[in-house]
Structure 1
Amino acid sequence: MRAIQITEFGGPEVLQQVELPDPVAGEGEVLINVSRAGLNYADTHQAENSYLAKMSLPLVPGGEVVGTTADGRRVVALTKNSGGYAEKAVAPALTTFDVPDGVDDLTALSLIVQGATAWLLLRKSTHMEAGESVVVHAAAGGVGTIAVQLAKLWGAGRVIATASSDDKRKLALDLGADVAIDSRASDMTAALIEANEGRRVDVVLDMTGGAVTDQSVVALGPFGRLAFYGMASRERPKPVDLGALLVHSTAVAGMWLPHALRVRDAEHGTLAHRAMAELFQLVVDGKVRAVPGGEYGMGEVRQAHEDLRSRKTQGKLVLDPSR
């Protein structure tokens, strides 16, 4: 089969198109003929071995695929941290979900990582309540585009989007944000308070890191919560001052998607299954939509990683292993 393989860690230049033996599904696993694979910012961390889960070489990157099983089921799945950039992939049965009729490949891939992440950030990490103000950083990205829609759908009083260009800010507004501001603001604290009509904010969803995180924490009002789920700037925020959290009654939470597969849910099995069930239904009902961000062939995967790293992209990016 054709696949993208890494034999040394680094930037986009380490991604090589190769021929590899077909993978074999073991006990409790599913073999999937891949129609599309998801391209995520986390994949750029896999390539340089700076991801939360350490990688080993050789490596076929990619953590999510959509396609068909040998018995004809159409599924979307999370692989075991890697293996997605290929014509065939193996995924644990636990992280394989049947795709309902009416949900296309792009949307299925948008939901399994970005959609589930947005759901968890709002439902579990920040416990967003109706009427609260919600800041979505990187609002034109994969998680951001879903988070803006969910926050508005679930009754946020004011959704404040940040993005780096006029086109991205317009997209956020089209998806339901009440206001969209420049993510490059020199004083993010002041910009967020101004965007919230002079009030400090209740909820912040942040995957940027560095000064954006630091200044967003300061923008929180009493009982405000910031959920931190990535570091796209590759700059670490300052250590959290617990005393300052106490003084202002604020909270900072971290969120990593794999933990949702370990937390049990009485009705759906795991928290991830609960999130996916609700998200699929919202899509089928026409209440949430995925935003296409671009489709790349095998020979264009380096360009895809360059686009991700430069943060030029919008919505969901996918890889077509057939070309």
Structure 2
Amino acid sequence: MRAVQVTEFGGPEVLKVVDLPKPVPAQGQLLVRVDRAGINYADTHQAENSYLSQQSLPFVPGGEVVGHTEDGRRVVALTTGGGYAEYALTVPQLAFDVPEAVSDADALALIVQGATAWHLLKTSARLVAGESVLVISAAGGVGSLAVQLAKLWGAGRVIGTASTQDKRDLAVSLGADVAIDAEPEGLVERIIEANNGSRVDIVLEMTGGEVFDASLSALASFGRLVAYGAASRETGSPVSPSKLMAHSKSVAGFWLQDCFRRPQMMREAMADLFDLVAAGDLKPQLGGDYPLSEVVQAHLDIRSRKTAGKLILDPTR
């Protein structure tokens, strides 16, 4: 079968399309014929071995697929790698039957980015109706869904950040009340201005570095910042207890993989997200459908922040 394999760590150039044996499911596993595989920003970290979980060489990237099981079910599934291929293995508890009203691309947008946005707001930030929400990278895969969910769940004001005017316009079209420049310099002042002179109650932050520092500074008393990424690959300043105590602020981290060990957390999120998409209340954004042969370009594009919404790979091309 055709697959993307990494045999040395590095940038997008280490992604090679090769022929590998079709995987054989062990007891308790499902084999999925992959129609589309999802691309996540975390995949770029895995390729260079800078992610939370360490990689062993060689490996096939890709943590999510949509396709058909051997008995004909159309499922979207999480994998422990191996998704960038014509066939992939998963386990029953992490495979979800896709409703007819939900497209392959929508299903892939939901299983990682959608579930992340859902848990960021519901589980980690504990959004209360009327609170203000700042979504960093509001045109991205998680951000574009978090903007919509925050509005659906009664946020008082939703503010997005994005690097270009087109992306800021997209965030507003999805429900953000305002979208501002993501540049770290002057970000605190722009956040407060966008929130009508007040600091924000909730920040969903995936950049790290200076953006994390600015987001924490712009947090209101009893505000909650949830960090779920480090796209800048910068560490930022240490968070001292005094910074948190001064305004009763909270900082939490979120990693979707921690939900995989509690399957009910995934089932609840996916059922809700499927219903919202089927009803037309939630609209995932497709950012690009790449042939498997163009996987290097896909990673270059996502790393350069040229894209908005969900990126997917077609293993048949």
- TM-score band by shorter chain is over 0.9
- Kindly report the root-mean-square deviation, in angstroms, between the aligned alpha carbons of the 2 structures: 0.8
Q: For each residue in 1:3-57, what CA deviation from the matched residue of structure 2 results, as whole angstroms up to 9, or x when unmatched? A: 0001101001111110000001112111000000001100001100111111111
Shift of 1:188: 1.4
2:292 aligns with: 298
Structure 2 stretches of 5 or more lacking a match?
none
Provide the rounded CA distance (Å) in 2 between the counterparts of 1:157 and 1:280: 25
Q: Specify the SS of the correspondent of 1:75.
A: strand
| Equivalent residue letter for 2:75 | V
Aligned positions of 1:160-171 closer than 5 A:
160-171=159-170
Q: CA deviation at 1:261?
A: 2.1
Q: Which runs of 4+ in 1 moved over 3 A?
A: none
Structure 2 partner of 1:24: 24
**Which range moved further: 179-188 or 137-146?**
179-188
Query: What corresponds to 2:271 in structure 1?
Result: 277
Percent pairwise identity: 62
Q: Counterpart of 1:158 in structure 2: which amino acid? A: R
- Which letter maps to 2:24? V
Query: Are the equivalent residues in 1 in contact too, given 2:184–2:214 (CA < 8 A)?
Result: no
Gaps of 5+ in 1: 264-268
Letter of the 1:139 partner, please give it: A
Given that 1:185 and 1:191 are in contact with CA atoms closer than 8 Å, whether structure 2 keeps it comes out as no
> How do residues 1-323 of structure 1 correspond to structure 2 at under 5 angstroms?
1-80=1-80, 82-263=81-262, 270-323=264-317
Contact 2:115 2:269 in 1 (8 A): yes
Distance 1:218 1:28 in 2: 48
Instruction: Report the AA paired with residue 219 of structure 2.
Output: L
3-state SS of the aligned residue for 1:217?
helix
Deviation of 1:64 after TM superposition, in Å, equals 0.3
Q: How many residues align?
A: 317
Return the alpha-carbon distance in structure 2 between the equivalents of residues 28 and 112 of structure 1: 21
Letter in 1 for 2:15: L
Note the alpha carbon deviations across 1:170-226, whole angstroms, 9 max, x for none: 000000000000001512111111100000100000000010100110111111000
Residue 270 of structure 1 aligns to a residue in which SS?
Answer: helix
Corresponding residue SS for 1:118: helix
Q: TM-score, normalised by structure 1?
A: 0.97
Q: CA deviation at 1:155?
A: 0.4
Using structure 2 for the length normalisation, give the TM-score. Answer: 0.99
Deviations 1:115-156 (A, max 9, x none): 000000000110011000000000000000100000000000
The amino acid of 1:288's aligned partner reads L
Give a deviation string over 1:288-314, Cα, whole Å, max 9, x none.
Answer: 011010011121100001011111110
